[in-house]
Amino acid sequence: MAETLQNLEFTFSFRPLRMVQFWLGLGSSVWQDPKSFGIKAVFNHGNYACIFPPDIVESIQFTIQAYRGDLGYQKRIWQPVKKKLKDWEKAYAKLHQGTKHENILSFRDGRSFLIIRQRRLDGEPLTHRLEGTSRAIYLFCQKHRALKRIIDRFSSVPSDRIEPFLKMMVDKKLMFRENDRYLSLAVPERPNPLEI
């Protein structure tokens, strides 16, 4: 739950996701080791009894399983995620009001520089300018890249300069980091049809 909340901080520039309640899948890691997750009993979901005769329900393990455990606790601890998703939906809708549907986080590449535009609810858009190696690293990370791969690719730059740059990009919510992998979040700005 805490990891989900943290990751949601990086999603507000994208179309909101729909929350799906946890369901226990046959063969999943939770199903294989239920006690580690506080699950006391696992059995076929009750809805199968409405579809199939009792002898079938008792002889087959179906894909969706039911369980006994601390369901009330789980529901309670996930409330902040539900609230964050609602906030995300509201922010996304507000930033997309009107007829002009601009990306919330986008970039334009000037070949020797990169302009990142970050629209905000509470003020004018922020503009970030990247040049030289900074621009190249940001574009390189349009696919998620391991830190080692980034350092190897830009070996002419000391790693003690690359890592602070990546941290700054993550702090500004322009890149996402998971473990040692980085992903640039801005998408290429669509050209205005009138400019073509």
* pLDDT tens-place values along the chain, 196 residues long: 899 999 999 999 999 998 888 889 999 999 999 999 889 999 999 899 999 999 999 999 999 999 998 888 888 989 999 999 999 999 999 998 876 778 999 999 999 999 999 999 888 999 999 999 999 999 999 999 999 999 999 999 999 999 999 999 999 999 999 999 999 999 998 755 444 4
Query: What number of other Cβ atoms are within 10 A of residue 192's Cβ?
Result: 9
Q: Where are the alpha helices (DSSP H) in the chain?
A: 2-8, 29-32, 48-51, 54-59, 71-77, 79-95, 132-140, 147-153, 159-171
Same structural domain, 11 and 71: yes
Q: Domain of 75?
A: 2-95
Looking up residue 149, the CATH number of its domain turns out to be 1.10.10
Residue 133 lies in a domain: yes
Same structural domain, 139 and 170: yes
Last residue of a domain, one of 60, 95, 130: 95
Same structural domain, 39 and 21: yes
Q: How many domains does the chain have?
A: 2
